[in-house]
Structure 1
Amino acid sequence: MKVAFFSTKPYDKTYFNAHNKNQSIVYFETRLNKTTCNLASGFDAVCVFVNDMLDREVIELLHQHGIKLIALRCAGFNNVDLEAAREYGLQVSRVPAYSPEAVAEHALALILTLNRKTHKAYNRVKECNFSLNNLVGFNVYKKTVGVIGTGKIGQAFCRIMKALGCEVIAFDPYPSQDLKEFGISYVDLDHLLQKSDIISLHCPLTEQTKHIINENSLKQLKPNCMLINTSRGALIDTEAVIQGLKEKQVGYLGIDVYEQEEKLFFEDLSEHIIDDDLILRLIGFPNVLITSHQAFLTEEALHEISKSVLNDIRQFEETQELINPVNT
C-alpha cells in the first residue's frame, strides 16, 4: 500500500524504516488538516499522530482522494471524527498498548521531579550554587495516590505506586479485577478527589471525561495536592487549574499534555513569540512542570508502535480487516 505519513519526526523515520518490509511510505513533516490533506492524493492510507486533525471536512476530503485506511500511531483517537469515517467507509486503526510502562514511568518522573525539585537543583549546580534552600520535598512513601482511569497505562502506574509503598485508590467505570487482587481499592470520584495526596490521570478523552478536572472538582482537593496528567490535555480545564494554582488549591501540577498543544508541541519555538497566554501563565508558576508529550518516547515504545502500525496496514491490505480497529 501507498502510505502518506504525516507529522513526521526523525525518530519516526528511524523506527518505521527499520521495520518496514513492503509498504511504500512517503513522509511529510506537516500535520494533516484541511489545508494539507491534498498531499494524501494518490495514496491508499494515511498514518497520523495525536495532533493531526481529522474532522468531518478532512475525512470527506480524504475519501475524495481515495484514502481507505487511517492508521493512528497512538492509543487515543479523540482527534478523529469516527462517525464521519464510518459514513465515508474509512477504516481506522490504532496502537492500543505500545508500552504502558513508558507512560506510567513518565508520570512517576513528573511526580519525583516536582516533589524533590531535581530540575531546579540541576540548574543551580550548573551555576555552582549548592544551596539547599527551597528544595524541601516530601516522602512519597505512604501517601494516598488517586488514579483516574485504570486501563493498561493506569494499571501499570498503580503497580508502580503500590511498590513505592503508597496507598493507591482508583476510579474507573470498569474496575480491574487484577488490580483489586493486587490491593487497589476502587472508590467514587468525589472520594478520590478528597482523599488523594497525588492524583494521576490515565483515562481517554471522551465527552464524559472532558474537563473531568474543573472548577468544582478542584475545590474538593486536599490542600497541597499534586495533579499529574500524561493522558490528554483536555481532561483538565486549563483556566480552572490556573485559578486553582493561584488560590493554592493545587500544590503541584505536572503535565505532559496540554489542552491547546497542537499549536505548540513537537516544534522548536524558542525563537518565536508564543501567542498562548495560558501556557505562558503555566510556565511562570514555580510549582508547575511541563513536558511536551514525551511520555511515550522510549526505544521500546517506538519499536512497538512501528511494528503495530505496519502489521495493521499489511493485514488491511491482505484481508480488508484490522488487528487493532477503532470501532467506527
Structure 2
Amino acid sequence: MQITFFNAKKYDQESFDEVNQDFGHELRFLEVPLDPHTAVLAQGAEAVCVFVNDTVSAEVLALLATAGVKLLALRCAGYNNVDLKAAAAHGIVVVRVPAYSPHAVAEHTLALILTLNRKTHRAYNRIREGNFALTGLLGFDLYGRTVGLVGLGKIGLITARILRGFGCRVLAYDVQPSAEAEALGVELTGLDQLYAESDIVSLHCPLTPETHHLINAEAIAKMKPGVMLINTSRGAIIDTKAVIKGLKSEKIKYLGLDVYEEEGDLFFEDLSNKVIQDEVFMRLLAFNNVLITGHQAFFTTDAMHNIAQITLQNISDFEQQKELVNAVEA
C-alpha cells in the first residue's frame, strides 16, 4: 500500500524502512505534523500513519477522506487525538499499536523515581564543576516505602513487579480487578486509600473523560505530605496548575513527568533557539524538584522495532482484508 507518514523523525524512517523489507509497502515520510493545513499532503495515499500529537479531528478526517485515504494507522497506543465517530462516518478504519514495549515505559518510570530520589542528575552536574559536596543530595531507601499505582494494564503490572523487587509495598487502583497483581503481592485499593498511604504515586492509566485531570486539587489534598508524583501515561491526567500549587505548598516534594497536557507544541522538536511561550511549562521548570523528559519513556530500540512491525502488520492485514485485531472503534 501507499502510506504517508506524518510527524516522521529520522528514527521513525530508519525503523520502518528496516522492517518494511519484509512487507514491501510504499512509504513516504513527512516531517510536518498532521493538521488541517497539511492533510492535503496525503493525496494519493491509501493509508496515513500518525503519532500521539498529530491532530486527527473531524475536519482533518474529512480532508483525508477527500484525498482517498481509507486507513488511519496510529504508531502508538493512545488514540484520544482521533475523532473516532468522524472516522467511521467517512469510512476510514483506525488501527493502533496497543502494546509495543511495556517494559520500556515501566523502566523509565523507575528511572524518574530513582533520579528524583537520589538526585543523580544534580550530582552529575556538580561533579563536572568540581563540587563534591553532598548537601542537598539526601535521598531515601525505596525498600519498605509504599508506592501507589493508578492503572494495572501491562505497564502498571510490570512496574509493580519491578517495585516489588525493590522491596516496596505496592498499592494499586484499577477499574478491573487483577488476579495477576494480587499474586505479585499488590494490594488492590480505592483511590482515597492509595492517595493517603502512598509515598510515591505513579500514573499508568489511559486518558479518558473519567481520567482527565484525575490528579487535581482535591486528589492532591488527600495525598501524604511530601509525596512523589510520577506520570508516564498521558499529560492531561494531571491538572498542571493544581500540581504547581502542590509544589509551592510542598505537599508534593518530587514531580517526575514524561508527558505534559500541552505537550503538542513542545515535545519531539528542538526548540533550544526559541523562546518557549508556555508559561505553565516554564513555571514547572523553575522547580529544582521537578524532572521532565520529553515523552521518551517508549523510546528504546526494542519498542521502535515493535511499533514498526505491528503498524505494518496492521496495514497489511487491512490490505489483505484480514481480521484487524488492533482496530479502534467509536
TM range (shorter): over 0.9
Could you tell me which residue of structure 2 aligns to residue 10 of structure 1?
10
1:251-279: CA deviations, max 9, x gaps? 10000000100000011111100100011
Q: What is the CA–CA distance in structure 1 between the aligned matches of 2:242 and 2:37, rounded to whole Å?
A: 33
Residues 1:275 and 2:267 are matched in the alignment: no
Residues 1:315 and 2:317 are matched in the alignment: yes
1:53-73: CA deviations, max 9, x gaps? 101111111111111111011
Q: What is the CA–CA distance in structure 2 between the aligned matches of 1:261 and 1:283, rounded to whole Å?
A: 14
CA shift, 1:321, in A, is 3.9
The number of equivalent residue pairs is 328
Partner SS state of residue 59, structure 2: helix
Q: What is the CA–CA distance in structure 1 between the aligned matches of 2:110 and 2:134, rounded to whole Å?
A: 23
Residues 1:69 and 2:71 are matched in the alignment: yes
Partner SS state of residue 130, structure 1: coil
- Do the aligned partners of 1:214 and 1:236 also contact (CA within 8 Å) in 2? yes
Q: What is the CA–CA distance in structure 2 between the aligned matches of 1:162 and 1:56, rounded to whole Å?
A: 44
Query: Cα RMSD between the aligned structures?
Result: 0.8
Q: What is the CA–CA distance in structure 2 between the aligned matches of 1:102 and 1:259, rounded to whole Å?
A: 21
Q: What is the CA–CA distance in structure 1 between the aligned matches of 2:250 and 2:274, rounded to whole Å?
A: 31
1:139-193: CA deviations, max 9, x gaps? 1111100000111111111111111100001000012111112211110111111
Partner SS state of residue 71, structure 1: strand
The residue type equivalent to 1:252 in the other structure is Y
Q: What is the CA–CA distance in structure 2 between the aligned matches of 1:276 and 1:109, rounded to whole Å?
A: 26
Residues 1:145 and 2:147 are matched in the alignment: yes
Q: What is the CA–CA distance in structure 2 between the aligned matches of 1:190 and 1:309, rounded to whole Å?
A: 39
Q: In the TM superposition, what are the counterparts of 1:187-226 in structure 2 within 5 Å?
A: 187-226=189-228
Consecutive unaligned residues in structure 1, runs of 5 or more:
none
Q: What is the CA–CA distance in structure 2 between the aligned matches of 1:27 and 1:204, rounded to whole Å?
A: 28
Q: In the TM superposition, what are the counterparts of 1:123-202 in structure 2 within 5 Å?
A: 123-202=125-204
Q: What is the CA–CA distance in structure 2 between the aligned matches of 1:294 and 1:281, rounded to whole Å?
A: 21
Q: In the TM superposition, what are the counterparts of 1:2-81 in structure 2 within 5 Å?
A: 2-21=2-21, 22-81=24-83
Percent identity between the two aligned chains: 54
Could you tell me which residue of structure 1 aligns to residue 257 of structure 2?
255
- Do the aligned partners of 1:315 and 1:323 also contact (CA within 8 Å) in 2? no
CA shift, 1:320, in A, is 5.6
Partner SS state of residue 121, structure 1: helix
1:174-215: CA deviations, max 9, x gaps? 121111122111101111111100010000000000000001
Q: What is the CA–CA distance in structure 1 between the aligned matches of 2:100 and 2:172, rounded to whole Å?
A: 23
Partner SS state of residue 319, structure 1: coil
The residue type equivalent to 1:181 in the other structure is A
Q: What is the CA–CA distance in structure 1 between the aligned matches of 2:174 and 2:207, rounded to whole Å?
A: 13
TM-score, normalised relative to structure 2 = 0.98
The residue type equivalent to 1:42 in the other structure is G
- Do the aligned partners of 1:53 and 1:79 also contact (CA within 8 Å) in 2? yes
Deviates more, 1:313-322 or 1:55-64: 313-322
- Do the aligned partners of 1:147 and 1:202 also contact (CA within 8 Å) in 2? yes
The residue type equivalent to 1:149 in the other structure is G
CA shift, 1:88, in A, is 1.3
Q: What is the CA–CA distance in structure 2 between the aligned matches of 1:282 and 1:209, rounded to whole Å?
A: 22
Consecutive unaligned residues in structure 2, runs of 5 or more:
none
1:100-125: CA deviations, max 9, x gaps? 00000000000000000000000011
Runs of 4+ residues deviating >4 angstroms: none
The residue type equivalent to 1:259 in the other structure is E
Q: What is the CA–CA distance in structure 2 between the aligned matches of 1:182 and 1:245, rounded to whole Å?
A: 32
Residues 1:326 and 2:307 are matched in the alignment: no
The residue type equivalent to 2:317 in the other structure is Q
Q: What is the CA–CA distance in structure 2 between the aligned matches of 1:116 and 1:236, rounded to whole Å?
A: 24
Q: What is the CA–CA distance in structure 1 between the aligned matches of 2:295 and 2:32, rounded to whole Å?
A: 17
The residue type equivalent to 1:12 in the other structure is D
TM-score, normalised relative to structure 1 = 0.99
Q: What is the CA–CA distance in structure 2 between the aligned matches of 1:91 and 1:150, rounded to whole Å?
A: 28
- Do the aligned partners of 1:214 and 1:241 also contact (CA within 8 Å) in 2? yes
